[in-house]
Structure 1
Amino acid sequence: MTTGLHRIRIVGGGEFSCGEDERILLAMERCGSSDIGVGCRGGGCGICRVRVVGGDYTTGKMSAAKISETERAAGFALACRVFPVSDLLIEVG
């Protein structure tokens, strides 16, 4: 199965490409960018917290202590657990 390549733009920052089967935090690191903070890369520390402003995505398991259900509904997620389904516009923090 071929997965699409999507453009990830960061409000006030850079942009990079990310495949649908790749987490956006790892894609950012692969592209040499450093707009998003990097911590455990496992969904538990919360350092890579972002808000998806536009676009579609799926997420893997994240710590509920770092991202509540209410925050998830508002577009917040941990970048180490976000997989793009379309181009994304994200805010850091």
Structure 2
Amino acid sequence: MQKFVIHIEETGESYTAADTRSVLEGMEALGKKGIPVGCRQGGCGVCKVQVLEGQFTRRVMSRAHVSAEEEAAGCVLSCRIYPRSDLRLNVVGAMKKNVCRPADAGAASLSPNP
């Protein structure tokens, strides 16, 4: 088993992922609340990312969610890729809102109404 560093461009966060776990599984380990994980089989499309740099093994994913053109531009479903080197990626689609949320998001003032 090898381990690689996955870097998320939008947040500047990095995490270590084993080559035996999907990029999505590693992302979940960051402890972000509300990461949509959907089917985990490449059929729902909620975990789309764009790999900017690095090598990975890709498993079958639905063309309804990742076209051949998108894939050529590095867009894949994070549940269906396994790192083979360090990766640098952007989060796109449904996951972006939760993965890229600031750490203190939702921590609004709770002062009572007068």
TM-score when scaled to structure 1? Answer: 0.88
Q: Which structure 2 segments of 5+ residues have no match?
A: 93-114
Q: Is the 8 A contact 1:10 1:35 kept in 2?
A: no
CA distance in 1, matches of 2:62, 2:6: 23
Larger Rg: 2
Confirm or deny: 8 A CA contact 2:28 2:35 kept in the other structure: no
Greater length-normalized contact order (CA 8 Å, ≥ 6 residues apart): 1
**Equivalent AA in structure 2 for residue 53 of structure 1:** L
1:53 aligns with 52
> How far 1:35 moved relative to its partner?
8.9
Q: Which position in structure 1 is the counterpart of 2:76?
A: 77
Instruction: Report the equivalent of 2:9.
Output: 11
Structure 1 stretches of 4+ with a deviation exceeding 4 A read none
Distance 1:34 1:92, change over 3 A: farther
Greater Cα shift, 33-42 or 17-26:
33-42
Unmatched runs of 5 consecutive residues or more in structure 1: none
The residue number in structure 1 matching 2:100 is none
Letter in 1 for 2:89: I
Shift in CA distance, 87/75, structure 1 to aligned 2, threshold 3 Å = same
State the number of aligned residues: 91
Q: Taking structure 1 as reference, are residues 34 and 87 closer, same or farther at Cα in structure 2, changes over 3 Å only? A: farther
Give me the CA root mean square deviation: 1.7
Determine what percentage of the aligned residue pairs are the same residue. Answer: 40
Separation in 1 of the partners of 2:21 and 2:58?
11
